[in-house]
Amino acid sequence: MVLDNTSREHQTLQWLTMGAIGVAVALSVYGAFLGATRASAIFESMPLMAWGILLAALLIQRLFLLSGRLHRLGWLAMHLGGLLILAGGMWGAPLGHRIQANLLDRHKVPKGYMLIPQGQATNTVMNQQFGVEPQQLDFQLRLEKFWVDYYPTPEKADTETNKDTGNLRSHRQVRAFNSQVTVLEKGQEVVRGVIKVNKPLHYGGYHFYQYDYDRAQGRYTILSVVSDSGLNLVYLGFVLVGVGSVFHFWLRPVWQRIGEKRD
């Protein structure tokens, strides 16, 4: 009877964990249709953070139940990976950054935007509404050059005529917009790079993405700034989930069949 009760408890815990993971997947799909700003507001709210802590507790308890069972290594890896993904996401959220500042005296900007005029340097990061209370990075970014690449037109198919750094009021279809920037530490140049759409610059614990630009004259660029806190944990978590899935759903059954044939 004790064994039956224990099995039921394990099964109940498993269903609770899978249900919580299902809620996470459903919210992620729903958030994809809301846009980055609204989705961030939902996932960074206190109710969702409390739910994340509950899910983390369920995963930790499942890890203890699975430990010591070699035939369940795949499940163990998947649960550990899920826990790391959740922990990394919470560590990179604004609440996680406040915890870092209070406990570790590590002050980082969670996310924001930088507006940089061409030829000038700044370390100011503004909030999502480009309003008050800007924050400062420990280094500066200088915009050396900004330009827009257009798709070739039937009349002008060469490269130079489809690149514009001056008047950007054009009816041509934009292919890419680019910012050549220099990172300055205490006034000294340390890194140079070109930021393009889907090709960010990574430096000093931040990713800098091409977000927008001065569409009239191209005199400034707008970069999206995102802290990389917790990002390595998320990457490691996805690797463990992938490896655990391959082991549990493919390698383990294959080994079992090989063992059965030998017997």
Element counts in the chain: helices (H) and strands (E): 7, 9
Tell me, yes or no, whether 98 and 131 share the same domain.
Answer: no
8 Å CB contact between 193 and 201:
yes
Tell me, yes or no, whether 96 and 146 share the same domain.
Answer: no
Predicted local confidence at residue 190, as pLDDT: 94
Residue 129 has pLDDT above 60, yes or no: no
List pLDDT tens digits, range 26-85.
766 666 566 666 666 666 666 766 767 777 777 777 767 666 555 577 778 887 888 888
Residue 3 has pLDDT above 50, yes or no: no
Q: Which residues contact 185 (CB under 8 A, 6 or more apart)?
A: 139
DSSP string, 223-240: EEEEE-TTHHHHHHHHHH
Alpha-carbon span 118 to 217, nearest angstrom: 11
Residue 114 has pLDDT above 90, yes or no: yes
Tell me, yes or no, whether 59 and 155 share the same domain.
Answer: no
Alpha-carbon span 163 to 175, nearest angstrom: 10
Tell me, yes or no, whether 168 and 152 share the same domain.
Answer: yes
Alpha-carbon span 210 to 221, nearest angstrom: 8
8 Å CB contact between 180 and 145:
yes
Tell me, yes or no, whether 205 and 235 share the same domain.
Answer: no
8 Å CB contact between 60 and 83:
yes
Tell me, yes or no, whether 97 and 176 share the same domain.
Answer: no
Predicted local confidence at residue 118, as pLDDT: 92
Predicted local confidence at residue 174, as pLDDT: 81
Alpha-carbon span 263 to 73, nearest angstrom: 23
Tell me, yes or no, whether 167 and 242 share the same domain.
Answer: no
Residue 132 has pLDDT above 60, yes or no: no
Domain interval for residue 13 = 2-103+230-262
Predicted local confidence at residue 251, as pLDDT: 76
**What average pLDDT does this structure show over 238-244?**
89
Between 148 and 253, the higher pLDDT residue: 148
pTM equals: 0.70
Tell me, yes or no, whether 214 and 118 share the same domain.
Answer: yes
Residue 165 has pLDDT above 90, yes or no: no
8 Å CB contact between 156 and 204:
no
CATH number at residue 210: 2.60.98
Predicted local confidence at residue 113, as pLDDT: 92
Tell me, yes or no, whether 245 and 156 share the same domain.
Answer: no
Tell me, yes or no, whether 66 and 147 share the same domain.
Answer: no
Predicted local confidence at residue 55, as pLDDT: 75
Predicted local confidence at residue 69, as pLDDT: 58
8 Å CB contact between 94 and 110:
yes
Q: What's the mean per-residue pLDDT of the chain?
A: 78
Between 24 and 188, the higher pLDDT residue: 188
Alpha-carbon span 127 to 112, nearest angstrom: 5
Between 180 and 253, the higher pLDDT residue: 180
Tell me, yes or no, whether 118 and 222 share the same domain.
Answer: yes
Which residue type does 183 have? V
Alpha-carbon span 255 to 166, nearest angstrom: 64
Q: Which residues contact 244 (CB under 8 A, 6 or more apart)?
A: 73, 74, 75, 76, 77, 78, 79, 80, 81
Into how many domains does the chain fold?
Answer: 2
Long-range contact list for 74-79, CB < 8 A, 24+ apart?
74/244, 74/245, 74/246, 74/247, 74/248, 74/249, 74/251, 74/252, 75/244, 75/248, 76/244, 77/240, 77/241, 77/243, 77/244, 77/247, 78/240, 78/241, 78/244, 78/245, 78/248, 79/17, 79/244
Tell me, yes or no, whether 153 and 246 share the same domain.
Answer: no
